[in-house]
Amino acid sequence: MEQEKSKSKRAVPLKFNLAFATGEITDAVAYQGFSFLIFNFYYFVVDMDIFYITLLYALWSIYNAFNDPILGGISDKTRTKRFGGGRRRPWMIAAWVPLSIIMFFLFTPFTTYAQNPVWVSIYFFVIICLFDTIYTAFSLNRTSLYPEMFRTNKEREEAGAGRRIMMILGLVLAMGLPTFIVGDLSDSNNLYKYWIAGAVLGVIIFITAWINIKWGVKEPPLEELETRETTGVFKSIWITLKNWRFVIFVLCSMMNWYVFALFPMVMNIYHKFILEQPWMGDNTSIFAALLLLVAFLFSGLGVIIWSKVDNKLGSKVGFLLSQIFWIVVLIPMFFVNNYFVALGIMALNGIGLGGSPYFIDRHISNIADDDELKTGQRREASFFGVHALIIRLSSILAIISMFIILAGTDYNIFSAADVNNPPITGLKSLVSWFPAGALILGVIFLLIYPLNRKKVNVLQDIYKENKKLD
């Protein structure tokens, strides 16, 4: 009797929730593994000039201006019996194996920039564009299932909490395993170790994506999907961009993603020149990665805290409070020189960080509900696709921030050992004032955003009433 009562209280079956949440491991291992390693590999090991890395990152982001929203619009229109049938699952299955394989080929230009600069530049640009296309085909469709499969606040709370726990595990794997395998990420002699790290991440992606697809995806029957009205790809994107609620929120989200992009890029360098101490020995990259890992681990505590705030005060107020907390705990990073003090502050940063992924998907789901009420169509993938486009611009902002600090110094020389005058103030600013300033802008956008708790409850009541009529 007790078990039945417990089951009745659970809006989402535990097995299904865990299988869906496992996709977060796939996502985190792929994208955060990419973000954590790609700059270090091409800057330190391949010896690319910071100017050309910045330029190619910018061109990559322009490519994403077409890649993400177009794939989102196509996904919303997809109706097929292939690859398991549906509109989201087929894309996930098609991307599953290629995403696993490309993690290895991210690190295989097989030469250095000094030996063949043209080939390395072409390879770098093509491989990151190819990675992003395959990653988007999987991640965008998986994420689009969240608001579609989980419609009530309780369902989204349960599924969201499960996702964030798995995301933390994925982040630990994405940061921890490569650091353990490669050792010093800035050692130019560790080329083959990057290959091993890429292959290991690929195996994890293969297994977790299979679990996600097999047991964590539930789409309406194809016959039902075929009866739903659809809009052309570019028209759907245009309608999405005209939704001012969505645009305001995505600008807020972009400020968060700027911090997500910047920290993995800068942490190894920040640690090397600000926090590194003799007792750490030769393999200091482990200690740099530990700073990020602690933040990600404590983000789990952040998810628990902010989910409770969400339940009491609503998603808009909860997100605002999480952003303000994060700003406050970022600023002390500027004044830190001791590694253990930095570790403690990064733990507090993790609590602030935990609010962002939890609330971002909640808000985009609410926007999709609001859009459906007005248009009669579900456009999750279009919203998430355009969201991906805009937040990818944060990668440009992050790499430009790195360029501003590093380009004016001799740190654009390949070997960190050759640096006589490292930009101490600039590096400290990259982990404090830069991200705090971005989040302050995010708070301003969030204050303008109109979908507060009262309006979201109205959307939920309409959905429940329509479900009863069905």
Domains detected in the chain: 14-469 (1.20.1250.20)
> Would you put residue 246 in left (φ > 0), alpha (ψ -120 to 50) or beta?
alpha
Sequence-separated (6 or more) residues with CB below 8 Å from residue 274: 336, 337, 424, 427, 428
Sequence-separated (6 or more) residues with CB below 8 Å from residue 253: 356, 360, 387, 390, 391, 442
Give the pLDDT confidence of 169-178 residue by residue, as tens digits.
898 899 888 8
Look at residue 308 in the predicted model and tell me its pLDDT. 87
Give the pLDDT confidence of 59-77 residue by residue, as tens digits.
887 787 678 788 888 887 8
Give the pLDDT confidence of 184-225 residue by residue, as tens digits.
777 778 888 999 999 999 999 999 999 999 999 988 765 565
101: pLDDT strictly greater than 70: yes
Look at residue 53 in the predicted model and tell me its pLDDT. 85
Q: Cα(236)–Cα(329) distance, rounded to whole angstroms?
A: 40
2: pLDDT strictly greater than 60: no
Q: Cα(241)–Cα(256) distance, rounded to whole angstroms?
A: 20
Give the pLDDT confidence of 249-269 residue by residue, as tens digits.
999 999 999 998 888 778 878
Cα separations in angstroms, 246 against 93, 249, 284, 348, 360: 29, 5, 42, 29, 11
| pTM given for the model | 0.76
Q: Cα(112)–Cα(121) distance, rounded to whole angstroms?
A: 10
Give the pLDDT confidence of 288-343 residue by residue, as tens digits.
878 888 998 898 889 889 988 988 898 899 999 999 999 999 999 999 989 999 99
Per-residue tokens: 394: 């944060």
Cα dihedral 133, 50, 330, 451 sign: negative
Are 136 and 67 in contact by the 8 Å Cβ rule? The answer is yes
241: pLDDT strictly greater than 50: yes
Cα separations in angstroms, 63 against 107, 138, 224, 358, 390: 21, 18, 34, 28, 12
100: pLDDT strictly greater than 90: yes
Per-residue tokens: 162: 């499960």
105: pLDDT strictly greater than 90: yes
Whole-number percent of the chain with pLDDT over 70? 87
Indicate the burial class of 163 (C-beta count within 10 angstroms; 0-12, 13-18, 19 or more). Answer: buried
